[in-house]
Amino acid sequence: MRAAGFPPAMLPASAFCPIGLKKHPGLDDAYAHKRDSATATKGVPVPVMRAQATFIPGGLVLSVYTHHSVIDGAGSDTICRIWASGDNGEKGNCADESSANGEVIDPSASRRAIDAMAALSTSNAPPQCREVTTLDKRRAVAPLRPEPNSVVARIISFSASGISRVRAELQAQTPTRISTVVALMSLLWSHITRARAAALAQSNHKTTTLGVAMDMRKRCAENLGKNYVGNMALFSSTEVAVADCTSLLPMALALTTTLSAVDNEWLTERLAFLSQLDKSSHLVPSFTTRNGPDLFITSAQRFGMEWDWGIPGTSEGRPSAIRMPDISDPMREGGMIVLPRREEKGRDYEVQTTLEEGDMERLLKGLGDLVTRVVDAWRE
């Protein structure tokens, strides 16, 4: 498994999904295996989290499933950090200061804290959130190609030195600071758009948008506390002209501008917008990834890899790899996840990428020797 790059196909959800999810009333196997939305739960309350440990030859697979509307990736990381500290015998890490003396924590305190933050917006204009809309108001987008399509997912590995070289080349062209993560995102966004060039031209798409998931906890730390596990993820969106995608620099500069604009006012304006809605579940991104011109990326590279679990019988205390379940889901087309990696110097960057099969082939060809390994994640 290690030699093969821990392919998700060797970690199927059908085998490792917690039994309690597969057997839970209101959730059939399709939900547990494919992680579909919890809209068909037959009115039965569903679990916020389920976990299961499965020993395999030479190690252990710990499966942790969380309800993403309640717990985001950073929240899951916090849960695993505290859980691991308890497993390896550390003391004093499992409670917030407010509960250290046995006080009962008000479960609504965080909700009220977020509501209070929404009132801090200083804008006189009606609050806006251009990254989201509703299905009936979303701009009609011509499909890239006729349905049905073959959608595949690959884990694409890049060497740390290769990404550093890309960043250095970008930095040499501009006085604006270009971060490593912006260099990685620009590389993927540019090359995927090039791989889609014929389809984009045929469907007359002139622009492409990249959505970027962001953890807003650092801007809420005083209000929510260091161990807040609720969903505090929002996302930004950046649009560029397709004609500019032959070079990485326009995309890197556009991304840097967007991400630099995410400040406290940006957050409070969006919280104010969301707080005015009676129901937010009908919101959708204002861009189109499924058979469309746009992409979405989230980074989990700092999730969980450094926590020492100290589990007897395992080769080392820290995880060897963290993977998403083997999920064949064409709705994920255009999605990318920067997978967890250790901070040790020289570790590859792994990006799980889901694309139409022809786009994937052209992407890998275009990236050339920047790619160090390709692992199948799933094939529709």
Q: pLDDT band for position 41 (50/70/90)? A: low
pLDDT value of residue 169? 97
pLDDT value of residue 35? 45
Interval 73-97 mean pLDDT: 72
pLDDT value of residue 33? 44
pLDDT value of residue 2? 86
Between 16 and 378, the higher pLDDT residue: 16
Percentage of residues of the chain with pLDDT beyond 90: 40
Interval 41-60 mean pLDDT: 82
Percentage of residues of the chain with pLDDT beyond 70: 85
Between 105 and 3, the higher pLDDT residue: 3
Between 311 and 69, the higher pLDDT residue: 69
Q: 206-250: per-residue pLDDT in tens?
A: 999 999 999 988 887 677 777 788 888 899 999 999 999 999 999
pLDDT at residue 98 greater than cutoff 60: no
pLDDT at residue 85 greater than cutoff 90: no
- Which residue type occupies 372? T
Q: 283-339: per-residue pLDDT in tens?
A: 889 999 999 999 999 998 888 788 888 776 666 778 888 888 766 676 789 999 999
Between 51 and 23, the higher pLDDT residue: 51
- Which residue type occupies 150? S
Task: List, in order of start, the domains of the chain with CATH numbers.
Answer: 111-379 (3.30.559.10)
Q: 250-275: per-residue pLDDT in tens?
A: 999 999 999 999 998 898 888 888 88
pLDDT value of residue 244? 95
pLDDT value of residue 89? 58
pLDDT value of residue 177? 98
3-class secondary structure per residue, the chain: CCCCCCCHHHCCHHHHCCHHHHCCCCCCHHHHHHCCCCCCCCCCCCCCEEEEEEEECCEEEEEEEECCCCECHHHHHHHHHHHHHHHCCCCCCCCCHHHCCCCCCCCCHHHHHHHHHHCCCCCCCCCCCCCEEECCCCCCCCCCCCCCCCEEEEEEEECHHHHHHHHHHHHCCCCCCCCHHHHHHHHHHHHHHHHCHHHHHHCCCCEEEEEEEEECHHHCHHHHCCCCCECCEEEEEEEEEHHHHHCCHHHHHHHHHHHHCCCHHHHHHHHHHHHCCCCCCCEEECCCCCCCCCEEEEECCCCCCCCCCCCCCCCCCCCCCCCCCCCCCHHHCCEEEECCCCCCCCCCEEEEEEEEHHHHHHHHHHHHHHEEEEEEEEEC
Q: 133-188: per-residue pLDDT in tens?
A: 887 788 888 999 998 889 999 999 999 999 999 999 999 999 999 999 999 999 99
